[in-house]
Amino acid sequence: MTVARVWIAGSGYVGTRLAGVLRAQGHEVWTLRRRADTNDPQTLCGDLTRPDTLSLPSGLTHVVFCAGLKQAAPAEYEALFVQGITGVLDLLEREPHPIERVLFTSTTGVHHETEGRWIDEDTPPNPARDTARFYQQAEQIVAAGPFPSVVARLSGIYGPGRDRLLRSVRDETARRYPGRARYLNHIHLDDAAGALAHLLLLPRTHPAYLVTDHEPADRNAMLCWIADALRRDHPPWLDESETPPFTRGGNKRCNNHRLLDSGYAFRYPTYREGYASLMGR
């Protein structure tokens, strides 16, 4: 086996798990954080928006841009995903490194759909929110960059510590929405990290993949399944006047056939297996 030398820029919820997957496979992995991580001696400190703060290991073969922001202003997204990534690509080219692949973790949010239609990688991106527009810009920057690249558009990630729907049923704050189906697209943390490792090291890739599980789930049906698994009553219905519009979160069904055709095998093919594992079943 050829040992990859991987730099993961952004080691949060997904990036940390990805580092663990790659290290378990025998690869050398460095992660980037703004602050030191005493649990990971191969953490490098720096700021992606300031490439002058970065000190990289020599001979990197693979790079993952896995950084994200929460409740940030549009200017912060632009600084990270436009200026930041552009600057880091320039830095990698100047040093230089024998880069075999750059992987950028994007979002299925670049596809704005409200009618519940199926989308796949051939569906043209049409982001509606500022955050999604900057993700799309970053995709274009990486694709036009000096290195072979692939984009992984992740759907809603859940797993240990990210189980909002499960907790809402347990504490009886969950509500079903009246009207037509609202589809949620999910992927368990373990499959998100596993699929990213798979795409990073795959000999040949398409330009982009939707990283999502097998079954876009009707939100109401999902809440009722969780309630049944917990032996609770089904959540009550929210008043129609309080129901959020479809334009807020979108409403689409993501097709993962390209990822499946690449050879990735899911540990949690649907939310049922994933949430069962969170319940200890």
Provide the pLDDT for residue 71: 72
Locate the DSSP E strands across 34-144.
43-45, 62-65, 101-107, 118-119
Residue in the block written with tokens 């200890």: 280
What is the bridge-based pairing of β-strands 253-254 and 208-211? unpaired
φ, ψ dihedrals at 175, nearest 5°? -135, 135
Number of H helices, E strands in the chain: 10, 13
Helix (H) or strand (E) holding 208: strand 208-211
Q: Is 116 left (phi over 0), alpha (psi -120 to 50) or beta?
A: left
What is the bridge-based pairing of β-strands 183-184 and 217-218? antiparallel
> pLDDT tens digits for 123-169?
999 999 888 999 999 999 999 999 999 999 999 999 999 999 999 99
In CATH terms, the fold of domain 5-160+186-214+255-267 is Rossmann fold (3.40.50)
Regarding predicted confidence, which is higher, 64 or 281? Answer: 64
What is the bridge-based pairing of β-strands 101-107 and 208-211? unpaired
**Does pLDDT of 10 surpass 90?**
no
Which residues make beta-bridge pairs with 62? 6, 101
Closest C-alpha to 236, from 184, 182, 168: 168
For residue 132, give every residue at least 6 positions away whose Cβ sits within 8 Å of its Cβ, in sequence order, or none: 107, 109, 110, 112
Provide the pLDDT for residue 38: 60
Other CB atoms within a 10 A radius of the CB of residue 230 amount to 13
How far apart (Å, rounded) are the C-alpha atoms in residues 119 and 117?
6
End-to-end alpha carbon distance in the chain: 35
Domains of the chain, by residue range, sit at: 5-160+186-214+255-267
> pLDDT tens digits for 53-80?
888 899 999 999 998 877 778 888 899 9
How far apart (Å, rounded) are the C-alpha atoms in residues 275 and 255?
20
